[in-house]
Amino acid sequence: MGMDAESKIKFLLENERLDEGLKAIASKVLAGERISFDEGVLLFEKGELGYLGVLANYIREKKHGDYTYFNRNFHIEPTNVCVYDCKFCSYSRLIKNKDEGWEMDVDAMMDIVRKYDNEPVTEVHITGGVVPKQDLKFYASFFRESKAHRPDLHIKALTPVEYYYIFKKAKLSHYEGMKYMKEAGLDSMPGGGAEIFHPEIRQQIAADKCNAEQWLDIHEQAHKLNMRSNATMLYGHIEKYHHRIDHMERLRQLQDKTGGFQAFIPLKFRNKDNQMSYVPEVSVIEDLRNYAVSRIYLDNFDHIKSYWAMIGRDTAQLSLSFGVDDIDGTLDDTTKIYSMAGSEEQTPKMSTQQLVELIRHVGRHPIERNTLYDVITDYKDVVFEEDDEKKARYYPLPVIGEKI
C-alpha cells in the first residue's frame, strides 16, 4: 500500500541530499506555516516536479481530501471588440477592426440564457471585450432581466478591466459601481484581467488597461459588499519567477484583509494569432510546477482551479495531483477565449458524466458544486445509465462568431 500525503513529506525530509532551503519549506508546509516571498521564488528555481507535487498534494488533501469540484455552467461573451490592445490576446478585435468581431445586445444575451431554461445549469459566466456602448446601464439591464427570468441562475460577471472602464465612464467610485451592479443582480466576479501585476511586465503586455492597484481595489470593494470573487494569473510568457510570486503575494495580502477570494486560476499563455506569437509556450511540466507552487504559496485560498478548456483534459487530470481541486464546468462550447488562443480544446464542452469520469479515472472524488462551493451532488457512487451519453444533454447555442 502506498504512502499517504503526510508520510511522503516526512520521507522527503529524511533525504540528506535535499537542498536545505527546500527542506525548510517542506517542514513549514508540514507544520502549516506560511512560506516567505524568497521561499516562493526558491520553489520555482530549485523545486523539482516530484518534490513540488508532494507538498502541493499534501495541502490539497488536507483542505479537501480527494474531493474534486466542478459545476454546470455556460458562458456569454457579449463582444470580442475591445478598446484595449493587450499583446497576448488572441480573442479581441480593436474598435478599428470591429467588422471582424461581434457585439451583442441585451436581447441576444437573453436568448442564450433562455436556451438553458430546461437544463440544470447553475451559473452563467460573462466576460469579453470592452466597448463604450456596453456600459453601466447595459449590463445592469441584462442582470435585471436575467434575474427576473431565472432567479436561481448565479450571475458571475465581468472583470475589473470591464468595471474600471464602466465605472469611470459613469463617474462612480469602485464601491458605488459594485454596489449598483450587485443591486441589479450581480452575484460574484470571475478572476480575469489580472495578467501579471508587476508594472515591469504589465506595461509591456497590457499597458492601457487597469493597473494592479485598480484591479485589486475593485475586488476589495466587491468583498466589502459580501460578494465572492476569483483571481487569475497569466503565466508562461515574458515574466520571471519573482514576478509570479509578486503577483501571488499581492493576492495573498488582499485575501488576508478580506477573505473574499474563492479560487485562484493560473492561466497558461497561448501564442496563437496574437502579438506575442514569437514567445514559445511553456511545457506541461512547467504548468504542473506552477499549479503546485500556487497551492503552496496561496495558503489562504481555499481552491486552486485548472481550466480544462485551456490546458486540455489530460493536463487537467494530472493537475489534480499538483494542488488542484477544481476543474471548472461543463461550458457547453460557449467560450471562444481559449480556443481562439490555440488551446487543445477547440470546442470546449463536456457532459456531467464526462467530467465525473475524468475525475474518477485519476482516483479522485467528483463533487458537483454551485458557484459558492455548496455541494449539489456527490457523484462518488453515482452509476450512469448506459445511454446517458447518447441523450441530448444541451440545446445547441447559436454561433456567436458572426455579428449579432
Q: Residue 92: what pLDDT?
A: 55
Q: Is 189 helix (H, G, I), strand (E, B) or coil?
A: strand
How many of the other CB atoms lie within 10 Å of CB of 146? 24
- Hey, what amino acid is at 290? N
Instruction: Provide the grid cell at 201.
Output: 511586465
CA dihedral 165, 166, 170, 175 (to 10 degrees): -90
Under 8 Å between Cβ of 112 and 62:
no
Q: Residue 88: what pLDDT?
A: 79
- What is the bridge-based pairing of β-strands 261-268 and 228-235? parallel
Q: What is the mean pLDDT of each run of 10 residues along the chain (404 residues)?
A: 86 94 98 98 97 98 97 91 80 57 92 94 92 94 98 97 96 98 98 96 92 98 98 97 98 98 95 86 96 98 93 93 93 47 54 90 96 95 68 37 32
Q: Residue 331: what pLDDT?
A: 64
Q: What is the pLDDT of residues 79-97, one digit of tens each?
A: 988 888 778 786 555 545 6
Buried b (16+ CB within 10 A) or exposed e, 54-81: bbbbbbbbebbebbbbbbbbbbbbbbbb
Q: What is the pLDDT of residues 349-367, one digit of tens each?
A: 788 888 899 999 999 999 9
